[in-house]
């Protein structure tokens, strides 16, 4: 689990440029969240709620990683998170594309 995009996520965590839970939903509405990552094994209701909100407010989202992988990165039980820094969000998408993994909307 050591791809370029994982390193970008680690930078977001260190810089505290991420949100999750209700804060993330608020950040989507207020246009603070630039990219959303949803765990592939997140609950269907949660996935639908987040993806619908992302589509409505035109925020890019990716369904990737597992809840276990997110737990290892964040040391918290989360099923999704948002990157709130525009430059880190661009770098995340760029690194995803470089990594050759075809995740996405």
Q: What is the pTM of this model?
A: 0.89
The model's confidence at residue 51, banded by pLDDT at 50, 70 and 90, is very high
Evaluate whether 60 touches 86 at the Cβ level (below 8 Å).
no
Mean of pLDDT values over 47-62: 96
CA angle 93, 76, 28 (to 5 degrees): 45
Strands (E), 26-91: 35-38, 60-63, 80-83
pLDDT at 38: 96
Mean of pLDDT values over 70-97: 94
């Amino acid at each position: 689990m050591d791809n370029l995009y994982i390193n970008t996520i680690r930078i977001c965590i260190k810089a505290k440029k991420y949100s999750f839970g209700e804060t993330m939903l608020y950040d989507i509405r207020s246009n603070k969240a630039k990219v959303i990552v949803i765990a592939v094994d997140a609950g269907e209701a949660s996935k639908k709620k987040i993806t619908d909100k992302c589509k409505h407010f035109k925020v890019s989202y990716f369904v990737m990683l597992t809840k276990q992988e997110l737990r290892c990165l964040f040391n918290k039980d989360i099923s999704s998170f948002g990157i709130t820094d525009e430059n880190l969000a661009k770098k995340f998408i760029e690194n995803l594309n470089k990594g050759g993994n075809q995740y996405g909307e």
